[in-house]
Structure 1
Amino acid sequence: MVNPIFNRPKIAKLQLVILYLLLASLFFACSPTTVQPKEGVWYQVREGETLDAIAQRFSVDVILIQRENQIYDARDIFVGMNIFIPRTQGIGVSPQIEAGRGQIRMIWPSLGTISSGFGKRQGRMHHGVDLTRDQGKDILAASSGVVEFLGVQSGYGRTIIIDHGNGIKTLYAHNEKFYTKKGRRVKQGTKIAKMGNTGRSTGIHLHFEVRVNGEKVNPLRFLPVR
């Protein structure tokens, strides 16, 4: 009987199989990987623009822009910076937000400067916009509704929540003084409070939130561009 170790035809066949496997692995390793392009556009930041304003212009949540461009603080953008705006044409906006925008028209609760926008801030999520007192301390109802809550909330200090119907509510925090009462129906533009520094706050300002069916959303989606 012939020793299989010295069976040359079998050894040659085995070598061919090994060579074939090596060539196949090299072929697949060198083949280009197909990458699906992301939906969106590139945009260059202009003078005076904020990330919130850009997000509002393209109807995209500011958090999506921050995530795509690895912007951890919305204030870190600069003039001339190229950023990718993902999912334009309203994609990525929840149906609740889109429905809410069509049901209500808001005004700015204060004409103060935006000192902090909606989005991540120092590693934590900031669920509203902060407005300074440089245009006065009066706080106005952003839209007509019923005062659902008036009192103190943890972190927010003296707080007012107005129910505008259809699952839409607005919150006004850190107040010094109230000018309305719980259960009262207020009209848009009614003076409801005075800016303060109550709760978790580092200075006199208004923290303003919009909630749609319990979801805290970017107030700039509801407020007029200014």
Structure 2
Amino acid sequence: MRRQLLLALVLFSLPVAAAATVSSQPGDTLNRLAVRYGTTPQVLTGANPALPQGVLKTGTRVTLPPTPTRLWTVRPGDTLSAIARREGTTLAALVSANPGLDPQRPLQVGQKLTLPSRWAGAPRSSATPVVRPASIRVTPVMPVTGRVTTPFRDGHEGVDLAAPTGTPIRAAAPGVVTESRFDAQSGWGWTLVVDHGNGLQTRYSHNSANLVPVGSRVEAGQVIGRVGSTGNSTGPHLDYRVTVQGQPINPFSLY
């Protein structure tokens, strides 16, 4: 009895993140939402018992269950990848849980990191596979080394990487340039899109300059543009987006 009381007190003392509510997008199902938010269909069903199992109506409000907030104090030798493996989560989930964290910079001993929920990196069932396109034959290249100012989340289907104007933008993987234009309609400014085959595309936006024309064949790591702040932007950064068969995925899931 005493042990149960102590356990209850410990759990009660843990900070708990408020339940988040997101809106479904066209074609969304509980399975698809589970993949996007790093959980399982069973967890979403438990938090939303009235939702149907098929395709959801666009704009349906879906509750993501609250979870205890956990912190990690960086130790000597720690890396983001090692912490993610140790905690049973993913690098993408760890970066998303820490806005402003630059995954390209070494961690500092004593630095505090917010850990994702335990189920954020839990194994998925066969019905909700992790999407890693077969067209990726080499380790993808991060297009820009910069601080994450906006992570992948509901309403922002990419990551914003802050970097000085003129910083080289590199192709994430081999492919063919399918767009190289100023996109005023979407507010993305100078934008490049590269098709990597098998339904995988990467998009690079708000550039100060596009350095490759439509139809160009590019290699992984090749400089294809320069960071800027064109279009609807508040400062120099790269808006980096990845889609598979037209479905947005977290760019960090490729790495």
Which category describes the TM-score, using the shorter chain as reference length? 0.5 to 0.7
- How far 1:58 sits from its partner (Å)? 1.9
Choose which of 95, 115, 119 in structure 1 pairs with 2:153.
Answer: 119
| Contact in 2 for aligned 1:58/1:89 (Cα 8 Å) | no
- How far 1:97 sits from its partner (Å)? 1.2
Q: How far, CA to CA, are the matches of 1:187 and 1:80 in structure 2?
A: 35
Matching residue of 2:226: 194
Inter-CA distance 61–180: structure 2 relative to 1 (3 Å threshold): closer
Inter-CA distance 58–112: structure 2 relative to 1 (3 Å threshold): same
Q: How far, CA to CA, are the matches of 1:93 and 1:198 in structure 2?
A: 40
Matching residue of 1:206: 238
Inter-CA distance 139–196: structure 2 relative to 1 (3 Å threshold): same
Q: How far, CA to CA, are the matches of 1:57 and 1:84 in structure 2?
A: 10
- How far 1:212 sits from its partner (Å)? 0.6
CA RMSD of aligned residues (A): 4.0
Matching residue of 2:139: 105
Inter-CA distance 183–80: structure 2 relative to 1 (3 Å threshold): closer
- How far 1:177 sits from its partner (Å)? 0.6
Inter-CA distance 214–57: structure 2 relative to 1 (3 Å threshold): farther
Higher share of residues assigned helix: 1
Computing the radius of gyration from Cα coordinates, the structure with the larger value is 1
- How far 1:99 sits from its partner (Å)? 4.2
Matching residue of 2:253: 221
Matching residue of 2:117: 84
TM-score when scaled to structure 1?
A: 0.61
| Contact in 1 for aligned 2:164/2:237 (Cα 8 Å) | no
| Contact in 1 for aligned 2:99/2:149 (Cα 8 Å) | no
Q: How far, CA to CA, are the matches of 1:42 and 1:60 in structure 2?
A: 19
| Contact in 2 for aligned 1:132/1:206 (Cα 8 Å) | yes
Matching residue of 1:150: 180
Q: How far, CA to CA, are the matches of 1:142 and 1:222 in structure 2?
A: 10
Q: Which moves more between the two structures, 81-90 or 133-142?
A: 81-90
The answer to whether the aligner puts 1:140 opposite 2:166 as a matched pair is no
- How far 1:43 sits from its partner (Å)? 7.6
Q: How far, CA to CA, are the matches of 1:57 and 1:107 in structure 2?
A: 24
Matching residue of 1:17: none
| Contact in 2 for aligned 1:110/1:135 (Cα 8 Å) | no
**Which secondary structure state, in structure 2, belongs to the residue aligned with residue 209 of structure 1?**
strand
Identity %: 28
Q: How far, CA to CA, are the matches of 2:237 and 2:126 in structure 1?
A: 31
Q: Deviations over 1:123-150 (max 9, x none)?
A: xx11111111159611000111000111
Gap regions ≥5 residues in structure 2? 1-41, 45-66, 101-110
Choose which of 69, 72, 75 in structure 2 pairs with 1:46.
Answer: 72
The answer to whether the aligner puts 1:58 opposite 2:58 as a matched pair is no
- How far 1:60 sits from its partner (Å)? 9.3
**Which secondary structure state, in structure 1, belongs to the residue aligned with residue 118 of structure 2?**
strand
Matching residue of 1:69: none
Q: How far, CA to CA, are the matches of 1:182 and 1:131 in structure 2?
A: 24
TM-score when scaled to structure 2?
A: 0.55
Choose which of 174, 177, 192 in structure 2 pairs with 1:160.
Answer: 192
Q: Paired residues, what number?
A: 171
**Which secondary structure state, in structure 2, belongs to the residue aligned with residue 119 of structure 1?**
coil
- The residue type equivalent to 1:149 in the other structure is E
**Which secondary structure state, in structure 2, belongs to the residue aligned with residue 46 of structure 1?**
strand
Gap regions ≥5 residues in structure 1? 1-36, 67-72
